[in-house]
Amino acid sequence: MVEIQNHLGKINISKQFFAALIGGTVTNCFGVVDMNVGNTKQTFLESIPFIPKKNYIDKGVTVSYQHNKLIIDLHITVMYGINVASVVKSIQHKVRYVVEDETDIPVEKVNVYIDAIKS
């Protein structure tokens, strides 16, 4: 949870909000096929055969808050045949813009990890 104190009072923003906001932004970027599982809770839930599989929009998103700035880690699968460097740069710029615009919290880094390439 991110807690911001200003002259009006306290604002608490949950990490689930950030994950949903960022996951929705990334999945709408050109070249992104899927978000990859980023934490053990989702990995466990997806491995149980009788639980219906959900397409978690926030899987693969990790947000940490250090020194009044956000550090965002993304694990994605991209489409074969695209320019990976330009897609990563586009994702970084778009995520930084959306998060800073919606929350007014500065983003220090957006780390994008390409875990797979699909055709």
Tokens read off for 36: 């990859």
Q: What is the mean pLDDT of residues 33-44?
A: 65
For residue 84, give its domain range: 2-118
CATH number of the domain at 66, please.
3.30.70.1350
Residue in 62, 76, 72, 64 with CA at minimum distance from that of residue 109: 72
Alpha-carbon torsion (40, 21, 27, 72), positive or negative: negative
pLDDT at 113 over 70: yes
Give me the half-sphere count of Cα atoms (radius 13 Å) on the Cβ side of residue 78.
Answer: 20
pTM: predicted TM-score of the whole model, two decimal places = 0.80
Count of structural domains, the chain: 1
Chain mean pLDDT for the chain = 85
pLDDT at 49 over 90: no
Cα distance between residue 35 and residue 15, in whole Å? 17
Give per-residue pLDDT as tens, 70-94.
Answer: 999 999 999 999 999 999 999 999 9
**φ, ψ at 78 (rounded to 5°):** -115, 165
32-35 and 61-66 strand pairing = unpaired
Q: Is 8 exposed, middle or buried (0-12, 13-18, 19+ CB in 10 A)?
A: exposed
Q: How many residues make up the chain in this entry? A: 119
